[in-house]
Amino acid sequence: MTLNKQTVIISKKLVGNLVYDYLSQKKEVRIFYNQFPDTNGFKQILSSKDVFKNIDRKLLVKVLKEQSSLVNNSNPRSLKNIELLSKENSFTVTTGHQLCLFTGPLYFIYKIFSVINLCEKLKLEFPENNFIPLYWMASEDHDFEEVNHLNVFGKKIVWNLEQSGSVGNFSTEGLGEIQKQLKDIFGENENTNYLLKLFGDAYIKNPSVPERAGKNLADATRYLVNELFGKYGIVILDGQNALLKKRFENYIKKDIFENVPFKKVSESIEYLKKLGYSSQVNPREINCFYSEPGLRARIEKDGTNYKVIGTDKIFSKTELEKLIETGPEKISPNVVLRPCYQQAILPNIAYVGGPGELAYWLEYKAMFDELKLAFPILVPRKFVTVLDSTSQQKIKKFGFSNQDLEEDEQTLIKMYLEKSNVVFQLEKYKKELEVLYSRVNREASEIDKTLSSAVEAEKQKSINALTNIEAKLNKALKQKSETEINQIKALKNKLFPNHAPQERFDNFSMPYLKWGPEFLNFLKESLEYDLIDWDQVFVGEE
């Protein structure tokens, strides 16, 4: 069985008002970015020769080579890309993501294929340059509950672990039990062995093979991403590095001691609100955490001192300045400051992200300008919905388009019933009542004007009665269509499990078990960019 794809233009419902207006080049949004993600926009940023002049390429290559050696499966193509970053005509295209267990939701896969394919597109457009796909591991995140699970065939597999601090440092001990659960769920399948081996090689320690991945969650994720995407030249960066953070020292000080990010992002958010957009982030006066093994906690100003929330650690301004200078690895940026860190150490021309990410990046433009950092081109990741043959048949049966599936369950049911002419409407009779009571009201008012309100009240009672009759009739009709309605509900739940888009919920192992490596190969070939239209991809089977 072979796979096929259909595409539709991205809708406002899919990406939200701000990102939709950005991609539509609405003039009110223009001040929140520099270049638009089209060929001309990339040409402009590539022609700005001095934009990355402060990037220490030699240091970057050194750190990336050291990090790539932490696992034994770094691909030669990835290592070649690392070396290319020493050249002034080499640039990164970055996406970032949490260290979700076994990739977590499907869109982890889509994001990385998006940066890989965008780099290939840019190489065709600008062959004199090198474009390196880079995955930034969110290893410093401390929200373990967001990464400790995966959803497979309606079952939530949870990794229970008593550790704290940055998740990238978490030991992968105990994941053998998760592998056993997956084996029971996957059942017997020709693709099961590959998935279980991939999980074991990435996450489970094997003392007899000391060079194997699995020392911690960061190593495990690096191994996993190399296995899935290494042949395409993906480069993986872990921001938890003292040498790289040393390069970010001055920006950390501007955040902690001058509150520059807080001021500039807050100004942007207020302006966006005036334009009718909602905010994505809540900047703090200090957007840094204090980090050490087992701990990642916010830093707050307390009088003239600085305290680490939830601990007894207190620093004077002088002590904290010294810590930033001598132990920068102990300072960890939050969601506001991390993009600045990325742009301070990478020759990065584009960031590929989902709707929420692009929305908060648009809030950061003024902050980047104030800090004199290069603001990347913002590119939407590819959006994908996987449709098996059963789902495709139901969509066709009910007369829906693929984009109709974004509507809520009740709207879909109503659409089907209307198309099937099984909706009973009494609007014609309600309008006749309006006309009738209007005449009665005129005649009654000529006799006694005070009777007008009584006539209006009776009119409303009559209309309400018809509405109740209409509801009862439609309820009876719905009962006759109960089988179809239940099928629509099942279809909606399959594509939006737990009311979330499939790509934000289901794990990649589900389609992989069915289609094997063909699924990943098909994604690679299908998620291409044309830098003109921004589309959503539906993957189906013939």
What's the rounded mean pLDDT across residues 96-114?
Answer: 97
Whether residue 397 lies inside any domain: the answer is no
Distance CA 303, CA 284 (A): 16
For 39-43, 250-254, 290-294, 415-419, which range has the lowest pLDDT when averaged over its residues? Answer: 415-419
Whether residue 443 sits in one domain with residue 353: no
Q: Region 301-323: what's the mean pLDDT?
A: 97
CB atoms within 10 A of CB 62: 15
Q: Give the C-alpha separation, 459 to 120, whole Å.
A: 67
- Same domain flag for 142 and 174: yes
Tell me which residue of 349, 387, 403, 380 sits closest to 530, measured CA to CA: 380
Output the pLDDT for position 180.
94
Q: Is the pLDDT of residue 463 over 80?
A: yes
Residues 363 and 459 in one domain: no
Beta bridge partners of 132: 92
In this prediction, residues 359-372 reach a mean pLDDT of 98
Query: Given this model, what pLDDT does residue 212 score?
Result: 58
> Does any domain span residue 307?
yes
325, 344: one domain: no
Model confidence band, residue 302 (pLDDT cutoffs 50, 70, 90)? very high
- pLDDT value, residue 50: 84
Confidence of residue 199 (pLDDT cuts 50, 70, 90): very high
Residues 137 and 235 in one domain: yes
| pLDDT score of 190 more than 60 | yes
Residues 459 and 528 in one domain: no
Domain enclosing residue 475, as ranges = 407-498
With respect to residue 38, please indicate whether it lies within any of the assigned structural domains. yes
Q: Are strands 295-302 and 305-308 parallel, antiparallel or unpaired?
A: antiparallel
Rg (CA), the chain: 28
Using the predicted structure, report yes or no on whether residue 462 has a pLDDT greater than 90. Answer: no
Residue 145's pLDDT is: 92
pLDDT single digits (tens) 476-488: 666 667 888 899 9
- Identify whether 402 is part of a domain: no
Provide the pLDDT for residue 424.
59
Same domain, 192 and 339: yes
Say yes or no to pLDDT of 213 above 70.
no
Q: How many domains does the chain have?
A: 3
Q: Looking up tokens 């967001």, which residue turns up? A: 146
Nearest-angstrom CA–CA distance, 226 and 194: 15
8 A C-beta contact, residue 292 and residue 165: yes
Between CA 69 and CA 75, with CA 73 as vertex, the angle to 5 degrees is 90
Is residue 254, in this structure, part of any structural domain at all?
A: no
In sequence order, what DSSP letters do the residues of 443-485 get, joined into one string? HHHHH-GGGHHHHHHHHHHHHHHHHHHHHHHHHHHHHHTHHHH
Burial per residue of 376-415, b for 16 or more beta-carbon CB atoms within 10 angstroms, e otherwise: bbbbbbbbbbbbeeebbebbeebebebbebbeeeeebbeb
229 and 136 in a common domain: yes
Query: 426 falls in which pLDDT band (50, 70, 90)?
Result: low
Percentage of residues in the chain having pLDDT higher than 90: 80
Question: Averaged over 444-464, what is the pLDDT?
Answer: 83
491 in any annotated domain? yes
pLDDT of residue 474: 67
329 and 359 in a single domain? The answer is no
Tell the burial category of 313 from Cβ atoms under 10 Å away from its Cβ (0-12, 13-18, 19+): middle
Q: How far apart are CA 157 and CA 263, in angstroms?
A: 41
d(CA 141, CA 225): 18
- Phi/psi for 397 (5° steps) reads -60, -40
Task: Tell me the pLDDT tens digit for each residue of 30-57.
Answer: 999 999 999 999 999 999 878 999 999 9
Specify the range with the lowest mean pLDDT, choosing from 60-74, 294-308, 471-485. 471-485
Highest-scoring range by mean pLDDT, 2-16, 119-133, 435-449 = 119-133
Say if 283 falls within a structural domain: no
One domain, residues 239 and 325:
no
- In this prediction, residue 28 has a pLDDT band, given cuts at 50, 70 and 90, of very high
Specify the pLDDT at position 183: 94
Which domain-ending residue is among 300, 333, 366?
333
Instruction: For residues 266-277, give the mean pLDDT.
Output: 97
**Is the pLDDT assigned to residue 422 strictly greater than 70?**
no
- Tell me the pLDDT tens digit for each residue of 120-164: 999 999 999 999 999 999 999 999 999 999 999 999 999 998 899
Say yes or no: 342 and 328 in one domain: no
CB 344 within 8 A of CB 96: no
Looking at the structure, do residues 434 and 470 belong to the same domain, yes or no? yes
More confident residue, 469 or 539: 539
- Identify the domain boundary among 301, 333, 365: 333
pLDDT attached to residue 454: 84
pLDDT of residue 1: 63
pLDDT at res. 207: 53
Asked if the structure places residue 257 within a domain, the reply is no
pLDDT at 485: 86
